[in-house]
Structure formats: C-alpha cells, structure tokens
Amino acid sequence: MILGAGGMLGTDLCKVFPDALKFTHHELDITERELVIKTIRENKPDVVINAAAYTKVDQAEDEEELACAINGYAPGYIAEGCALAGATLIHYSTDYVFDGSKPEYIESDQTNPINAYGRSKLLGEQEIAKHTDNYMIIRTSWLFGKHGRNFVDTMMRLSPQMENVKVVNDQLGRPTYTADLALKTAEIIDMEPGIYHLTNSGTCSWYDFASAIIPNVIPCTSKDYPTKAKRPRYSVLRNTKTTPMRHWKDALKEYLKEKRA
C-alpha cells in the first residue's frame, strides 16, 4: 500500500510497485486516525509505504501545528494500523532532523532539529517507534524528481529570467533523485527494521548543485540569502547499511535528459 501516491516520490514508487494499492492525499487523509487505521486493517497489506508529507520548509515556521499533524502524528496513526494488520511500515524522513554541527551523519547519530519542519519530521520518527517495532525509516535529502516542485526545476525557471541566480555555497548535503530512491526502497524492503540513510552518492553545496544545472549561477552565503527557516550547515547523510546509490551528477544528467526529451 502506497500513501501519498500522487506526490513526487509517490509517483515514482507507483512505477516500482505497479501492483500496490495506491492512495493519494484526496483519497486518504493521513491525519484522520480512525480512517487510516480502518483502511490499513481492511486491506491487510504486507507493507505500507508512506510517501505523504508536508514539505514547505519555510512555511512550516508559521504552520508548525499543521506540519506536525501531517509529518508527526499521522505517521503514528499509520504505525498503529500497521501493528494491527501485521504490516511493515516504510516511512521517509529527512536530513533536517540534524542540527548541522557535524560534517556528516550516520543512522545512529543524535538528532537535534533547528527548524519547525525538522521538528515535525523527528516527531514522526518518534511516533512510529512508539506504535510499532516493524518499521523502516528512510532519511533522505534534497529530493528532485519529475512529478513535483523541486530545486532543479526552480533553477531552470529562474535562469532565463535573471542575469545571475544567487545560490548559497555554505550548506552541504546530498541531492537525491526520487526515481533512484524508489528503486532503492524496493531493494531494502526485506532488510532488518530500523533507520536507513538513503541518498545519491556525492556531497555538494546548493551552489555546486545549481552549477551543474544552469550556467549563470553565482555563490552567496546564508547570511546574504536569509530564509525564514534556519537550515543546517552540514546535512550529509552517510549510509552505513546498504550498497551506495549512484552519484547525484549521474542521476541529474538522466533527469535533465528526460526533461528535455
């Protein structure tokens, strides 16, 4: 069963799992506890993949209650349903559960989110663990894909409109192609329960990422480009449990090629 099937990641998951039961946000509101539990119990899936999420990082500063309802408490309801149905829960979390004080993070590192979005996602991790032991929480970062708004598309839109596009060069992380993440999810589905860090390989700044997309980008600092939500300076997720995914530059090349086709 795939929840959030209409989103950027959810759409790619539907391609990898074509026979799955699929629910978009309009078909199942994951914040409705009784309905979520009833839907899971009635359908008796072996695996529930939750790709539904509130993803507006800056807006979450003003809507933390809503972010926590979707990213925090709702995954707990899904976990309750999974426990009753004997299903494995696969859920996606974020690099923003960390504060950025270390150059990279492994799965067992201490969490300490510094913005509302990160707090909402950490709450989701905690609520899942409270209600089931049979879960895989996949932390990922900097998602881009064909079926939703993302940084790559934003750069391509801004480039012809502006002489130069300013992008921060002091926040480091790992871009992740949703098509690759969906395939990797299928690969690890039978592995041990727990937390997994899954991103494309290779570390870069947002400026480095932008430079691989458009020609007219110039670097700036986070101070030069303040945002409502504070971002971690380092949010590199190191995978210690599975084989690495391909380099983000190779994934980006494929994405751009398909967009231009």
CA distance 213 to 142: 14
| Active-site residue (options: 54, 77, 92, 117) | 117
At 171, give phi and psi (nearest 5°).
Answer: -125, 120
Q: Are 105 and 153 in contact (CB under 8 A)?
A: no
Is 117 noted as a catalytic residue in this protein? yes
CA distance 103 to 30: 34
CA distance 74 to 96: 19
In terms of Cβ atoms closer than 10 Å to its own Cβ (0-12, 13-18, 19+), residue 163 is exposed
Using DSSP bridges, classify how beta strands 22-23 and 2-3 pair: parallel, antiparallel or unpaired.
parallel
At 221, give phi and psi (nearest 5°).
Answer: -100, 165
CA distance 39 to 174: 35
Both structure tokens of 67: 């972010």
State how far the alpha carbon of 259 is from the alpha carbons of 32, 57, 129, 162, in Å. 36, 25, 39, 21
Cα dihedral 56, 25, 126, 85 in deg (nearest 10): -170
Q: Which residues are catalytic?
A: 117
